Structure 1
Amino acid sequence: MNARTSTDVLVLGAGMVGTCTALQLARRGHAVALVDRRAPGRETSYGNAGIIQREAVEPYAFPREWQAVFDVAFKRGIDVNYHLSALPEVLPRLARYWHASAPDRYAPIAQAYSRLIAHCLTEHEALMAESGASDLVRKEGYRFVFRTPAAMEEAATRAARLAADYGVRHALEDGDALSRAEPGLRRRMAGALHWLDPWSVSDPGALVARYAERFQALGGQLVEGDAATLQATGSGWQVRTAAGPLAARHAVVALGPWADALITPLGYRLPLFVKRGYHRHYRGGPGLRLPMLDAERGLVLAPMAQGVRLTTGAEFARIGAPATPVQLTKAEAAAREMLDLPDPVEAEPWIGNRPCTADMKPVIGPAPNHPGLWFNFGHAHQGFTLGPASGRLMADLIEGATPFVDPSPYLASRFL
């Protein structure tokens, strides 16, 4: 890929967040280079459950119940696993995560988080329309399914609160209604909580690629390069690419789980950590109409172009550590209790990394000590959902325009 020697903005990282940041800037007439070592949407943004989660107005809090903590510590469930070798590095950040999850501290975090989520559908819709991506999306929501009435009743109480506080819509379905809606289920469940607002995407990586194509159609450069070579110049920032050095006045770090490795040498020690996740596809069985979360086992089944995608919860491990897909093995067994899964499509499961912060909010805004350097990362489970909204806010800040959402809760300075 050919590149000019200079541009207005470098965006480092071509996942959903970086690609949308580049596209939002290009839509406003800026000269932008989107820099990555791989094609857009081939890392973390490829491997998620493909749900634009309008209902996710509250981020995932650290469990406060001691039973849940013990279950995690002793790896009793499907939803969490960890590597002992990663604990010395991650435990201090998990302690801050636990601290931030206390009810009095969590409440304002959720309020700030919800303000971005509120724009996820409208911002995606605008980009989908001009990117010709509407064929990839289904606007019928998704389901939490339950094995026991008690778990469903608890979830229904929370859903009623979210509806009252944030206006997210849902419907409760008993076991018979769920069986009619999803005839491929092999057993009768207690019922489902059907979130009505979210959208599901049949190929998450393809959606990112469509956004990247639109970015290029607007004159943006898609450049193969190494973000780790970023360095300050007298007038901005420069990165090495396959076509040679590329300079710009502004540089946006949108590297997701790899952001920490770039910003730490610059003096930024933010409480970032990574949750790994696995997925596998199964093609040829009865299938599903809509994605579903097995709420009591912590796994997601989602209909995709490649087959039914089974995704796992969180694994705490170092980036690049050998795969330990024990969660996927357990999740597959639990999924087969509900659905006839054929043999997997892939010989080996996919593995990816989710970028998280100790206070559950993304980092969006200027680097406090480096003019022209900007941060847009730390979206945890919702980078796919928040990419367009987060990219729009980043574009507002770079331009000096009035931000469409108050950026103060997301600034990196909150940790310094």
Structure 2
Amino acid sequence: MSKDAIVLGAGIVGVSVALHLQARGVNVTLVDRRAPGEETSYGNAGLIEASSVVPYGFPRDWRTLLRLARNDSTMLRYDARSLPAYARWLAAFWRESAPQRLAGAARDMLPLISRCVAEHEALIARTDLRALVRPIGWLQAYRSPQAFEREREAAQRLADEHHLRTEVFDAAGLRAAEPSLNEGYAGAIHWIDPASVADPGALVKGYAQLFLREGGRFATGDARTLRAQGGGWQVQTDDGPLAAELAVVAMGPWSDQVTAPLGYRVPLMAKRGYHMHYASAAGAPLLRPVVDIEGGYVVAPMRQGLRLTTGVELATRNRPPNYAQLDAAERAARPVFGLGERIDDMPWMGMRPCTPDMRPVLGPAPRHAGLWFAFGHNHHGLTLGPVSGRLVAEQIMGERPFTDPAPYSPTRFA
């Protein structure tokens, strides 16, 4: 029997849910206030992170916490006026980042992480997007020799445990592998399995074009107007009311604007981030994304230029941008990467939708028939979009899911 579905949110997660439902015979309409791939999915470091088998937990070393408390780090900044809004969330994040709980989160996330590249590949095979996704991995670079020596051993243990491929470069080896880099790093770990996306926004738009070519529909509308209507759901669009049997909330950091009025108290908070594109003044192109571990930023080669992405800023949605973190990261990165002039007119600012237990919310709404959640992917929305779309579609259609969906169930916040 054919079903109708509204998917709210046209980022990587929403588009992926729409594609997987469409492949199962569902008549799907994507609804967003903007075109596909123009919010959070646009402004990331472009990594399909097959090696990030341990989620990004709250730092628990007191020296690191004291350094971050000064609020001048490129890794994390906070808006003092926003901290009360984050207090309960941060307390839960701290608790969930304890070693045993973090290990549990890693176990729960592994079925998604381990399939992330393969699920992207399955979609790419149906498109002409191959040139955007490069199987080149990324570099985890260290400025401190002591940190490099300590972390290379931990990385090797992690790689051995999860059958991940790595290559270790000392300072000279790193400059040979990446001739565009100047001196500044003591060494780097090359994680080989991840893929790098040269234009994340274009990738999402390409997936959305696949959805439309195969009969899907897109409507501009306000997801906050979602209401139960008869035996289904209705949302207002620019073309009038749209009704369907099923509705999927996949709005990333704005998902709570739909779920909270319906009575759901999912602890979803945003970690803001910034990026800027630069021309390169180096004598050679940067070949792989580089994560400066101590610096807390990423420089990635993109179609638009070298993209510098910042670490985390804790600030609520209504607070104005603060570019100090980006400026500090630029000062640290410029001499090493040979950053030239800024290309963008203004820095981009976006928000990562984060849950304190570092797991996404994927499954049926506990108290509303036909309503489904697909959000809260923390730092891995681009990575986990296609595999999350598959898992949600399998549940909606009553198929046997490829993995137990219980760790991601909305009921864990009941």
Query: TM class, shorter-chain normalised?
Result: over 0.9
Task: Please give the per-residue CA displacement for 1:235-271, whole angstroms capped at 9, x wherever unaligned.
Answer: 1100011111111111000000001121111111111
SS of 2:126 mapped into structure 1: helix
Displacement of 1:77 after TM fit? 1.8
Within 1, Cα distance between the matches of 2:361 and 2:375? 5
Q: Which residue of 2 aligns with 1:62?
A: 58
Q: Which residue of 2 aligns with 1:384?
A: 382
- Would you say the 8 A contact 1:7–1:246 is kept in 2? no
Q: Which residue of 1 aligns with 2:248?
A: 252
- Would you say the 8 A contact 1:176–1:188 is kept in 2? no
Q: Summarize the alignment of residues 8-407 of structure 1 with structure 2, pairs less than 5 Å apart.
A: 8-286=4-282, 287-407=285-405
Task: Please give the per-residue CA displacement for 1:6-63, whole angstroms capped at 9, x wherever unaligned.
Answer: 9711000000000111011112221000100111000000000011010011110001
Within 2, Cα distance between the matches of 1:35 and 1:175? 49
Q: Aligned Cα RMSD in Å?
A: 1.2
Structure 2 letter corresponding to 1:196: I
Within 1, Cα distance between the matches of 2:401 and 2:169? 40
More deviation in 37-46 or 314-323?
314-323
Displacement of 1:284 after TM fit? 3.9
Displacement of 1:167 after TM fit? 1.6
SS of 2:45 mapped into structure 1: coil
SS of 1:228 mapped into structure 2: helix
- Would you say the 8 A contact 2:54–2:102 is kept in 1? no
Displacement of 1:337 after TM fit? 2.8
Displacement of 1:360 after TM fit? 0.5
Q: Percent identity?
A: 51
- Would you say the 8 A contact 2:3–2:25 is kept in 1? no
Structure 1 letter corresponding to 2:271: K
Structure 2 letter corresponding to 1:253: V
Displacement of 1:190 after TM fit? 0.9
Within 2, Cα distance between the matches of 1:344 and 1:158? 36
Structure 2 letter corresponding to 1:296: E
Within 2, Cα distance between the matches of 1:262 and 1:71? 37
- Would you say the 8 A contact 1:7–1:247 is kept in 2? no
Displacement of 1:155 after TM fit? 1.8
Within 1, Cα distance between the matches of 2:184 and 2:356? 39
SS of 1:10 mapped into structure 2: strand
SS of 2:244 mapped into structure 1: strand
Within 1, Cα distance between the matches of 2:72 and 2:277? 25
Structure 1 letter corresponding to 2:407: P
Q: Which residue of 2 aligns with 1:3?
A: none
Within 2, Cα distance between the matches of 1:39 and 1:7? 24
Task: Please give the per-residue CA displacement for 1:285-336, whole angstroms capped at 9, x wherever unaligned.
Answer: 2241110001111110000000000000000111132100111011001101
- TM-score w.r.t. the length of structure 1 is 0.97
Q: List gaps (5 residues or longer) in structure 2.
A: none
- TM-score w.r.t. the length of structure 2 is 0.97
Displacement of 1:188 after TM fit? 5.0
Task: Please give the per-residue CA displacement for 1:50-84, whole angstroms capped at 9, x wherever unaligned.
Answer: 11010011110001111111222211421101111
- Would you say the 8 A contact 1:22–1:391 is kept in 2? yes
- Would you say the 8 A contact 1:273–1:356 is kept in 2? yes
- Would you say the 8 A contact 2:277–2:344 is kept in 1? yes
Within 2, Cα distance between the matches of 1:274 and 1:157? 33
Structure 2 letter corresponding to 1:108: G
Would you say how many aligned residue pairs link Structure 1 and Structure 2?
411
Within 2, Cα distance between the matches of 1:233 and 1:188? 60
Within 2, Cα distance between the matches of 1:77 and 1:160? 28
